[in-house]
């Protein structure tokens, strides 16, 4: 009977699979793996599903058609020099040439050459001004101010209602990690007011694209609707808003659903307003932007950033994983156009270094992992000493109230470990009895029957409990849920 089972198994596996199975058996891994499949079938199915998600769609290079794009940028520089134009392109313009559609870039350069030769000064100057304005556009797109959720009265009520609908549509789970209690995060900032955004889209993405996006970007109701929102857990929300991750929208299907491909972005050493002068070598600029050489051995997924953040399945979140977004409860899925716009602009921001202002000053002390093209976990929590409060739907979804949310930044900044531990346990749904101890309460209330000396002793005990065993607490990894 055992021989028959062995033959049946061998007939279903190819040579490579048989060799791998024998290898696992030799190193005592096959048995535990089979036991795990029997005892934890959901875990195994989650691993398999995540594995297939990384193979469902090929991952393109960090900058596709790199050599062609380099030639186009050099052509821009040659035209500026040949026609003695009073313009030096910024690193933002360089990044746009690395991302924008090649056919549009080529068309704009053709127009620039013709207008310069024919002495059409107004047209040439218009193109130059549009290029200069791109720095402000990209910086505003990734700024914390543009991504803040605020408002009052009827407008704020509409926003909260839309956030609740977004989470309801997504099953009140993060669309990427499948963790519960997500935030409703805008795909495109709903408070951006840059008059030059559509002008930039027209110049670098084409008139047709700008015309298609114009009614969406100009519509405040649409920008505050579930179609412009994703459900993400707090950690992914931080990374998405700070330009650390991006989602590439894939083909829409006939079932009112679409797919997005997860990507880790890289950190550039460039500055968005930095000028790309004639004495700069383009290959050195590419190295500063962490753009891999297209002639190198590294291709596809290996060209992107990396970070070992575990998903709900147990596998790390890797560039290339596919996730589905769909309509539920008659609530429309996220807008393909907004996802595409965010995908393009986040890559531009990452290449030119526009995401830098959102990270904390700790990053300057070496938290960035240059080898892995990723970040240490401590660099995304603060900006100017403040932690962004994120997107919460307290009124509609039973989240934290305003006072609790406002206290969280102080809790991180002041390293109030006792309060931090209490908050972390509360997020995980654990009951904490008698664990919340705050120094202000000790000083304000005291303890009946004890004098000042007793209060000082109690304060010292509180401090000791707050430090003992918690010095290595990974504060920056707390907003994972």
- The pLDDT averaged over each successive group of 10 residues in the chain (481 residues) is 70 81 80 82 70 70 93 97 96 98 98 96 96 94 70 72 94 90 93 83 96 92 94 92 93 74 93 96 94 68 62 65 84 93 97 69 40 38 37 37 40 45 50 43 46 47 43 41 37
The answer to whether 258 touches 249, Cβ cutoff 8 Å, is: yes
Location of structure tokens 């459900």: 231
The predicted structure's pLDDT at residue 256: 63
Q: Which stretches does DSSP call E strand in 265-383?
A: 322-326, 368-369, 374-375
Among 178, 222, 238, residue whose Cα is nearest residue 391 = 238
Q: Specify which residues 328 forms β-bridges with.
A: 331
Say which DSSP state 180 is in.
B
Task: Output the six-digit token pair for 380.
Answer: 């995304």
The predicted structure's pLDDT at residue 322: 85
The answer to whether 258 touches 194, Cβ cutoff 8 Å, is: no
Residue 121 CB neighbour total at 10 angstroms: 10
The predicted structure's pLDDT at residue 309: 54
State how far the alpha carbon of 236 is from the alpha carbons of 80, 319, 392, 424, 445, in Å. 42, 14, 14, 17, 40
The predicted structure's pLDDT at residue 371: 34
Q: Which stretches does DSSP call E strand in 318-357?
A: 322-326
Task: Output the six-digit token pair for 102.
Answer: 């090649």
The Cα–Cα gap between 353 and 359 comes to: 11
The predicted structure's pLDDT at residue 107: 97
The predicted structure's pLDDT at residue 338: 96
The total number of residues written for the chain in this structure:
481
End-to-end alpha carbon distance in the chain: 49
The Cα–Cα gap between 468 and 456 comes to: 18
The predicted structure's pLDDT at residue 63: 93
The Cα–Cα gap between 143 and 384 comes to: 13
């Amino acid at each position: 009977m055992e021989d028959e089972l062995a033959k049946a198994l061998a007939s279903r596996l190819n040579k490579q699979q048989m060799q791998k199975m024998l290898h696992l058996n030799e190193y005592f891994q096959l048995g535990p793996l089979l036991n795990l499949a029997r005892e934890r079938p959901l875990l195994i199915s989650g691993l398999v599903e995540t594995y297939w998600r990384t193979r469902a769609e090929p991952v393109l290079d960090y900058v596709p058609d790199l050599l062609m794009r380099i030639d186009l940028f050099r052509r821009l520089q040659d035209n500026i020099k040949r026609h003695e134009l009073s313009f030096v392109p910024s690193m933002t313009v360089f990044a746009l040439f690395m991302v924008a559609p090649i056919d549009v870039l080529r068309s704009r350069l053709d127009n620039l050459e013709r207008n310069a030769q024919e002495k059409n000064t107004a047209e040439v100057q218009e193109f130059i001004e549009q290029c200069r304005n791109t720095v402000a556009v990209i910086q505003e797109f990734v700024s914390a101010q543009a991504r803040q959720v605020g408002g009052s009265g009827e407008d704020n009520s509409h926003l909260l209602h839309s956030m609740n609908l977004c989470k309801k549509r997504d099953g009140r789970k993060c669309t990427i990690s499948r963790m519960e209690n997500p935030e409703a995060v805008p795909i495109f900032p709903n408070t951006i007011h840059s008059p030059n955004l559509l002008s930039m889209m027209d110049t670098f993405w084409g008139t047709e694209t700008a015309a298609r996006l114009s009614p969406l970007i100009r519509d405040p109701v649409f920008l505050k609707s579930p179609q412009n929102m994703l459900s993400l857990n707090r950690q992914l929300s931080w990374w998405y808003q700070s330009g650390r991750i991006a989602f590439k929208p894939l083909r829409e299907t006939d079932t009112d659903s679409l797919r997005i491909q997860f990507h880790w972005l890289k950190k550039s050493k460039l500055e968005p307003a930095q000028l790309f002068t004639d004495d700069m070598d383009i290959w050195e600029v590419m190295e500063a932007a962490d753009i891999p050489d297209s002639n190198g051995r590294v291709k596809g997924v290996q060209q992107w950033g990396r970070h070992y953040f575990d998903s709900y399945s147990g596998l790390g979140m890797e560039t290339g994983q596919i996730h589905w977004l769909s309509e539920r409860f008659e609530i429309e899925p996220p807008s393909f156009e907004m996802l595409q716009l965010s995908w393009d602009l986040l890559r531009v921001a990452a290449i030119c270094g526009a995401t830098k202002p959102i990270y904390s000053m700790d990053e300057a002390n070496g938290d960035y992992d240059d080898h892995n093209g990723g970040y240490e976990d401590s660099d995304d929590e603060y900006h100017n000493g403040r932690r962004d409060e994120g997107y919460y739907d307290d009124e509609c979804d039973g989240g934290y109230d305003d006072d609790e949310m406002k206290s969280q930044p102080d809790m991180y900044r002041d390293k109030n470990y006792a309060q931090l531990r209490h908050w972390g346990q509360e997020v995980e749904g654990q009951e904490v009895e008698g664990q919340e101890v705050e120094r202000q309460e000790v000083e304000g209330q005291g303890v009946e029957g004890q004098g000042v000396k007793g209060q000082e002793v109690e304060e010292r005990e509180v401090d000791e409990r707050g430090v003992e065993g918690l010095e290595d607490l990974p504060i920056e990894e707390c907003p994972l849920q």
